[in-house]
Chain A
């Protein structure tokens, strides 16, 4: 735990930006990451390219899921001694409210960081944190430093 905190403190948003640029799909999403106190806040900026339902209009549910998955992966990267791209095992997503054409935010909680596998939950919201649009749980395989 202490270790993770140290690394988070050492992990500057600029370094995270470099990681974001290494992932073409994160660039495609235009994702941003900012450090708020000790937590990273991820943003999927409002963009008409992500509309899934033009009648509402609402964002494509898959894009919201993809953003949450990428947020989880980045959260994991910043917690590693030697940051590497984690590999997703599975992803379970509950849709609570349609995501409108606004900025979407996500924050992650590492529930268990084992030797090989990490369990992480992600909450995504738009207007208010206590009214999430979606919650997700993911398992990642975390490659060990050689």
Chain B
């Protein structure tokens, strides 16, 4: 039984995402919440290029996007109460490059939660999910429940966003 409805998750992740100053600076925004999977979008920008000859995105910018996506995806798990969770570790496999001029999407979901640890995995892609440019896995530590009292009252599975 999901702890939160899709619209509640969408509200929660949007507030969390917009609470991260550096993410806002880069223009990282919530694309969608689909069940337990969260997708964020990083718009292309010249400042984040790693190789000025090819215009491809820097691997570090992908790390920022993936860290943020996997971290926020922790509250989309249906198996555990949303909680504040600092990152324990993160691994990124670079499967390809983000071509010049293209926005990057990152999707992530919790694949296992224990009492203290949330194990999260995700992908980054540009054109389609079938063509991932990076894969990430990481673990987050549960340190305390999120106060959800401010969340939309009485949402009984309303709007699916």
List A residues at the B interface (Cβ < 8 Å).
Answer: 22-29, 48-54, 59-63, 65-67, 69-70, 85, 87-95, 98
- Name the contact of A28 in the complex, choosing from B21, B47, B89, B92 (C-beta under 8 A): B47
- Give the shortest distance, in Å, between A124 (CB) and chain B (any CB): 13
Residues of B within 8 A of A95 (CB): 86-90
Q: Are B47 and A67 in contact (CB under 8 A)?
A: no
Residues of A within 8 A of B90 (CB): 61, 65, 92-93, 95
Taking A25-B48, A53-B20, A92-B91 as contacts, is the C-beta distance between A66 and B64 under 8 angstroms? yes
Closest to B135 in A: A90
- Give the shortest distance, in Å, between A48 (CB) and chain B (any CB): 7
- Give the shortest distance, in Å, between A54 (CB) and chain B (any CB): 6
Instruction: Determine the distance from Cα of A65 to Cα of B58 in the docked complex, in whole angstroms.
Output: 12
- Name the contact of B50 in the complex, choosing from A23, A49, A90, A94 (C-beta under 8 A): A23
Query: How many interface residues does chain B have, given as a range?
Result: 20 to 34
Taking A60-B22, A70-B60 as contacts, is the C-beta distance between A25 and B50 under 8 angstroms? yes
What are 21 A-to-B residue pairs whose CB atoms are below 8 Å?
A: A23-B49, A24-B46, A24-B49, A25-B58, A25-B61, A49-B21, A49-B25, A51-B21, A60-B22, A62-B68, A63-B64, A65-B64, A66-B58, A69-B59, A69-B63, A85-B51, A91-B91, A92-B89, A92-B90, A92-B91, A95-B86
Q: Are A25 and B89 in contact (CB under 8 A)?
A: no
List B residues at the A interface (Cβ < 8 Å).
Answer: 19-23, 25, 46-52, 58-61, 63-68, 71, 86-94
Taking A60-B68, A90-B93, A95-B88 as contacts, is the C-beta distance between A52 and B47 under 8 angstroms? no
Q: Are A49 and B22 in contact (CB under 8 A)?
A: yes
Closest to A141 in B: B94
- Give the shortest distance, in Å, between A29 (CB) and chain B (any CB): 8
